[in-house]
């Protein structure tokens, strides 16, 4: 990872691209804990256009459930 927000930036760029904006994105992040932030991140149409945000470490069953919920 080159920056603390690289995944967030990629999600925003994908959302702008007509050929990629319908690809479901799930962000796995440890930034809240690493930076001791008092808040988490939620999907947002403009700022964080993803289907779901999961905090690391993620239990495999939680990740699998998120994937199943977001693919068709």
pLDDT tens for residues 2-49? Answer: 566 688 889 999 999 999 999 999 999 876 665 666 567 777 887 888
Q: Are 6 and 48 contacting, i.e. CB atoms less than 8 angstroms apart?
A: no
- Domain spans, the chain: 6-70
Give the model's pLDDT for residue 37.
62
CB 31 within 8 A of CB 55: no
pLDDT value at residue 1 = 47
Looking at per-residue confidence, does 61 or 1 come out higher?
61
pTM for the structure as a whole: 0.74
Residue 66 has pLDDT above 50, yes or no: yes
Contacts of 56 by beta carbon, 8 Å cutoff, 6+ apart: 28, 29, 30, 33
């Amino acid at each position: 990872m080159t920056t603390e927000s690289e995944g967030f930036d990629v999600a925003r760029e994908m959302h702008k691209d007509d050929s990629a904006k319908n690809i479901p994105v799930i962000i796995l992040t440890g930034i809240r804990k690493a930076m001791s932030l008092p808040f988490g991140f939620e999907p947002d149409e403009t700022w964080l256009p993803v289907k779901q945000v999961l905090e690391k470490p993620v239990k495999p069953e939680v990740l699998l459930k998120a994937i199943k919920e977001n693919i068709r």
